[in-house]
């Protein structure tokens, strides 16, 4: 997916609606663009449509109306397998394969892309180092790791084939606060180096402010506002205010 | 004369009947595996197929075994030889645990793991063979185990249609009101069932991924 225009948005939603089989609407009239190299955070509570938005990007679900463009091409026009292999996917609790070792989990996409074994081995070693995991863990199984280690493996797996886009669905949601803070810091450092286009789902405002280039606040299947992190804390939008209150992050002077 | 003396004196015949019994169980179980597991996989792929297929297998299971043997008698080629008929009937009974366990095993695989695989670009086939089947294997083998043990017991009834096996002694014993004779069929059959249970139980443990 490298031969497309370098200037346009990497991901674009045009008037996207998504309804499930029973007719219930999970997303409506969604318009948004993700620029190359930015981290767009989708912030919202459970059921606001964040995860669905993410799954529309790698075509795990298809829009009922409108279209989602990745590198200028509608997801429905992509071969879904090719599209997904060019997009890293990291989910809560890592979704690691319990019957694969750390090494095989990380090597998942390179293996199905049939890289030569030498190159896979080198890449896995490189990735484990990148996410701060000891090389000795390579032969362990996911159940033998701590939550933080599992999540690092999940990130390494998402980065394995060096995809330009990374989708992260509450990747640090199930971690204890200290490990979470640690992984957030490392994510920032990593992102500074790799400059991936990242779409990051969270319900945690602090995480959104810390990691996001821009924050898209979602509620009941709609996009409420999309602002840079610094604009976000100053916004007078009532829902934004509610979030700032809930997280004790109000910074516009009327703190009691 | 007690039952063990009887078995010792007639060991050639006991062995022959045991082998007949084993043959019926093995052939029917292998056939059932070849049909039941793919069918179980298929119904996890085709929405709406699960209920009719599982329902059908369930109905077969409710047909009394003697009646099923009777129903199959007029079937050409099958009905011509009693061992064929017995194998077909035993195979039909083994289908339900195999289809059901394959279906439940695959559906029991953690959805987030499957979705992660799909999201990273695994094809349906890769997901099935690298993720779903390996993770469901323990449950599937448990189905084979149940099917085999049931089959060992059911195969004794095959003697009623002249298919041989250890049921011979049981039916003969019943006709002659001879408990020793009944036990001479029942004890080796029970031993076979136990042996199958232990072996497949060990396999189930060995092949369970987690």
Q: Which helix (H) or strand (E) holds A231?
A: helix A229-232
Q: Judge whether residue A218 has pLDDT over 90.
A: yes
- CA-to-CA distance for B43 and B203, rounded, in angstroms? 25
pLDDT digits (tens, 9 = 90+) for B28-58: 999 999 999 999 999 999 989 999 999 999 9
Q: What are phi and psi of A30, to 5 degrees?
A: -85, 125
- CA-to-CA distance for A45 and A40, rounded, in angstroms? 16
Q: Judge whether residue B129 has pLDDT over 70.
A: yes
Closest-approach residue (CA) in chain A for B135: A99
Q: Judge whether residue A3 has pLDDT over 70.
A: no
Q: Judge whether residue A253 has pLDDT over 70.
A: no
- CA-to-CA distance for A109 and A53, rounded, in angstroms? 23
The size of chain A, in residues, is 256
Q: Which chain B residues touch A94 with a CB distance below 8 Å?
A: 116
Q: Which chain A residues touch B119 with a CB distance below 8 Å?
A: 55, 58, 60, 84, 87, 89, 91, 167
pLDDT band at B83; cut points 50, 70, 90: confident
Residue B17 burial by Cβ neighbours in a 10 Å radius (0-12, 13-18, 19+)? buried
Percent of chain A with pLDDT strictly greater than 90: 75
CB-closest option in A95, A109, A112 to B115: A95
- CA-to-CA distance for A219 and A256, rounded, in angstroms? 27
Radius of gyration over alpha carbons of chain A, in Å?
19
Q: Judge whether residue A1 has pLDDT over 70.
A: no
DSSP letter for each residue of B79-128:
TTSHHHHHHHHHHHHHHHHHHHHHHHHHHTS-HHHHHHHHHTT--HHHII
Identify whether the C-beta of residue B169 lies closer than 8 Å to the C-beta of residue B181.
yes
Q: What is the pLDDT of residue A6?
A: 60
Q: What is the pLDDT of residue A254?
A: 46
Residue in A56, A3, A70 with CA at minimum distance from that of residue A223: A56
ipTM of the complex: 0.85
Per the CB < 8 Å rule, is A108 touching B120? yes
Q: What is the mean pLDDT of residues A213-233?
A: 92
C-alpha distance from residue A23 to each of A20, A26, A27, B26 (Å): 5, 9, 11, 50
**β-bridge partners, A32:** A13
Identify whether the C-beta of residue B160 lies closer than 8 Å to the C-beta of residue B171.
yes
Structure tokens belonging to residue A255: 């703190």
Closest-approach residue (CA) in chain A for B114: A95
Q: What is the pLDDT of residue A188?
A: 93
Q: What is the pLDDT of residue B70?
A: 83
pLDDT digits (tens, 9 = 90+) for B61-71: 898 888 888 88
Strands (DSSP E) along chain A, which ranges?
A: 11-19, 25-34, 39-43, 65-70, 73-74, 87-91, 165-169, 197-202, 214-219, 222-228
Residue A151 burial by Cβ neighbours in a 10 Å radius (0-12, 13-18, 19+)? buried
Q: What is the pLDDT of residue A4?
A: 47
Per the CB < 8 Å rule, is A97 touching B117? yes
Q: What is the pLDDT of residue A181?
A: 92
Q: Judge whether residue A23 has pLDDT over 90.
A: no
B157: three-class secondary structure by DSSP: helix
Q: What is the pLDDT of residue B29?
A: 96
Per the CB < 8 Å rule, is B134 touching A99? yes
Helix axes B133-154, B179-207, angle to 10 degrees: 180
């Amino acid at each position: 997916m490298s031969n497309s225009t370098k200037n346009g948005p990497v991901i674009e939603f045009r008037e996207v609606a998504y309804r499930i089989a029973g007719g219930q609407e999970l997303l409506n009239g969604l318009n948004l663009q993700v620029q190359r190299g930015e981290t767009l955070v989708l912030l919202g509570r459970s059921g606001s449509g964040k995860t669905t938005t993410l799954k529309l990007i790698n075509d795990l679900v298809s829009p009922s109306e409108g279209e989602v463009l990745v590198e200028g091409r509608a997801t429905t026009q992509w071969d879904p397998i090719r599209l997904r292999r060019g997009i890293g996917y990291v989910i809560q609790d890592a979704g690691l394969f319990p019957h694969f070792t750390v090494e095989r989990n990380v090597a998942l996409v390179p293996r199905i892309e049939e890289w030569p074994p030498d190159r896979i081995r080198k890449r896995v070693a490189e990735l484990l180092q990148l996410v701060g995991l000891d090389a000795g863990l390579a032969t362990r199984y996911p159940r033998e790791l701590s939550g933080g280690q599992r999540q690092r493996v999940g990130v390494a797996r998402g980065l394995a084939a060096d995809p330009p886009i990374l989708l992260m669905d509450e990747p640090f949601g199930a971690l204890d606060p200290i490990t979470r803070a640690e992984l957030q810091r490392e994510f920032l450092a990593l992102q500074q180096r790799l400059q991936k286009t990242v779409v990051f789902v969270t319900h945690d405002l602090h995480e959104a402010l810390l990691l996001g280039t821009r924050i898209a606040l979602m509620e009941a299947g709609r996009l409420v506002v999309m602002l840079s992190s610094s604009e976000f804390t100053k916004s007078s939008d009532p829902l934004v205010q509610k979030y700032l209150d809930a997280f004790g992050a109000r910074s516009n002077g009327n703190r009691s | 004369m007690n039952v063990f003396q009887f078995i010792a004196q007639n060991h050639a015949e006991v062995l022959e009947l045991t082998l007949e019994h084993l043959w019926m169980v093995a052939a029917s179980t292998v056939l059932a595996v070849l049909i039941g597991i793919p069918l179980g996989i298929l119904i996890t792929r085709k929405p709406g197929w699960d209920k009719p297929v599982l329902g059908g297998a369930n109905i077969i299971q409710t047909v009394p075994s003697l009646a099923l043997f009777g129903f199959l008698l007029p079937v050409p080629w099958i009905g011509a030889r009693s061992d064929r008929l017995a194998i077909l009937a035993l195979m039909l009974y083994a289908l339900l645990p195999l289809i059901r366990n394959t279906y439940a095993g695959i559906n029991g695989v953690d959805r987030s793991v499957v979705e992660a695989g799909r999201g990273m670009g695994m094809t349906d086939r890769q997901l099935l063979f690298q993720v779903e089947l390996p993770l469901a294997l323990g449950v599937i083998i448990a189905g084979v185990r149940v099917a085999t043990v049931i089959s060992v017991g059911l195969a004794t009834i095959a003697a009623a249609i002249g298919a041989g096996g250890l049921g011979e002694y049981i039916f003969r014993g019943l006709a002659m009101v001879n408990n020793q004779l009944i036990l001479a069929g029942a004890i080796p059959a029970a031993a076979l069932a136990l042996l199958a249970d232990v072996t497949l139980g060990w396999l189930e443990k060995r092949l369970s991924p987690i």
